[in-house]
Amino acid sequence: MSQNKSYFVQSFTIFAVSIAAFLVFKSILPKKLFSESTVNSKNVVIDSLLLEALEEDKNAADGDTLSNQPISFTAVDGITFPDEKFEDYKGFQHLIQFYEKLFQLETKHQGNVRIAYFGDSMTDGDMIVQDFRANFQNKFGGQGVGFVNITSESAASRNSIKHEFSGNWKTQSYLNVKKPRSPFGVNGHVFFANDTSNVEWVKYKASNLPNLSELYNPTLFYGKSNNRSGKIAFKVGNDTVYKKLSPNKLVNTLVLGNTTKNLKLDFIKADSIPVYGLNFDDGKGVHVDNFSNRGNSGLPISTFNTQVMRQFHEKLGYDLIVLHYGTNVLNYGSLNYTWYEKRMKNVVNHLKECFPGVAILIVSTADKATKYDMDMKTDSAVVPLTKAQKKYAIQSGAGYVNLYTLMGGDGSMVKWVEEVPASANKDYTHFNYRGAKKISSMIYNQVYGGYEQFKRLRANRKQPKPVEKTTDSISVKTDSVHVE
């Protein structure tokens, strides 16, 4: 009997003492069992320019003069959007030329509009962008997935086009190569068919999604080389068609037959010819190219070769460039983003030089959660980064979408992960298909809201100027991929 009691008391004692022991251990042993170490390996995708920039600008001062003043705009085509406050800056003013093109398309069914959407793993596998594209194409017309790479790390997860390629392509990416053998294409990559013993191939199959159900007017983009004997082969019906590559200019195009559902290209004796990718579009309406790249901070865009980009611009005619970055800049401990702000301002200016007349839209980082003590909370770097992104948007004359506030601000990522059904993944960083759709609608709705406001302002402007002359002449004149 007393024996029995003592065992109860014994187990109670063990519990009580164990709690005391825990308190002692907690104070003397490390707080975390596993450090959040990162691996250094050539196989881990890391943006080399980002690392360099971090190294250089460790101690830059954080000068803030922008956030107190109201932001006012100068008229474009006689249209001036009202002044904005720093807190809710959207910068629609800087999208006027893009809006004008949309307006011509909507009212006169003339011209076409092209958007380049640059991003990181957030837009991997055409996430977010496919919904963004669908929104535009449903409203303004247009068919086709736009520009697609030759090889892609995320081809398998892409639903908007089925994309396969042989393993022997030589790929160079602006993410980790500073001096490519030939300049990078507009997708930040260049591909070579240098394996002479085996044929390199690439295969595309249209999806069943609305507006993307065919490979419209497939057109190959490739660069300059001394190799004059390169050919490509593809099948039309039962016949194999051979086409010679003539790599004379910095950027060359080759139309590959008619609109089709499937396309497989073999590259024959094409070594040293820089290949960039294929474009699929029907020539009318809106087209959106997804240039996503895991691990990208946005800084690699500064390595774009101006001459090459201008030739891309001549052929494709971009009206809007979206820069959707930030996820990869969050994890570096510092909350001072002056270094990033400065460099991204240069990136935006460089893009304006490469693509004259293009409008630029900065999409901020989304919310991301990190564990503090035992709870998942918004990462302390998110707000400073969105601010830095807003600053370079203002300074370089670009539109701005604050995804963090659109998502719901503080703690929103935790909600998106925990809600049923979930909208974001358990890494508290990336969205799933459901979340990506929501995000893209948020971006689209803001851009479209600006367009509606633009239409009202346009109708009320005092002296309507002839618009056709002032818009970017380059894109209008030579939007001619499919004319060749």
Residues lying near another protein in the complex (CB under 8 A) are found at 4-5, 7-27, 29-36, 38-39, 41, 43-45, 121, 124-125, 153-154, 156-157, 294-295, 331, 370-374, 418, 425-430, 432
Nearest to 317 by CA among 279, 365, 348: 279
Are the C-beta atoms of 382 and 343 separated by less than 8 Å?
Answer: no
Q: Is the Cβ of residue 16 or residue 75 nearer to another protein in the bound state?
A: 16
Compute the least distance from the CB of residue 354 to another protein, in Å.
Answer: 26
Euclidean distance between CA atoms 187 and 233, whole angstroms:
24
Euclidean distance between CA atoms 379 and 366, whole angstroms:
11
Are the C-beta atoms of 316 and 212 separated by less than 8 Å?
Answer: no
Compute the least distance from the CB of residue 74 to another protein, in Å.
Answer: 42
Q: Is the Cβ of residue 44 or residue 61 nearer to another protein in the bound state?
A: 44
Q: Is the Cβ of residue 137 or residue 154 nearer to another protein in the bound state?
A: 154
Compute the least distance from the CB of residue 298 to another protein, in Å.
Answer: 17
Euclidean distance between CA atoms 311 and 319, whole angstroms:
15
Compute the least distance from the CB of residue 426 to another protein, in Å.
Answer: 4
Cα 414 to its chain centre, rounded Å, is: 23
* Cα Rg, the chain, nearest whole Å: 26
Q: Is the Cβ of residue 244 or residue 371 nearer to another protein in the bound state?
A: 371
Euclidean distance between CA atoms 399 and 446, whole angstroms:
10
Compute the least distance from the CB of residue 94 to another protein, in Å.
Answer: 32
- Count CB neighbours of 371 within 10 A: 12
260 phi and psi angles, rounded to 5 deg: -150, 175
Compute the least distance from the CB of residue 14 to another protein, in Å.
Answer: 5
Q: Is the Cβ of residue 402 or residue 429 nearer to another protein in the bound state?
A: 429
Compute the least distance from the CB of residue 135 to another protein, in Å.
Answer: 22
Are the C-beta atoms of 162 and 213 separated by less than 8 Å?
Answer: no
Are the C-beta atoms of 313 and 353 separated by less than 8 Å?
Answer: no
Burial class, 428, CB count within 10 angstroms (exposed 0-12 / middle 13-18 / buried 19+):
buried
Q: Is the Cβ of residue 21 or residue 236 nearer to another protein in the bound state?
A: 21
State the residue for tokens 């050919």.
231
Q: Is the Cβ of residue 64 or residue 427 nearer to another protein in the bound state?
A: 427
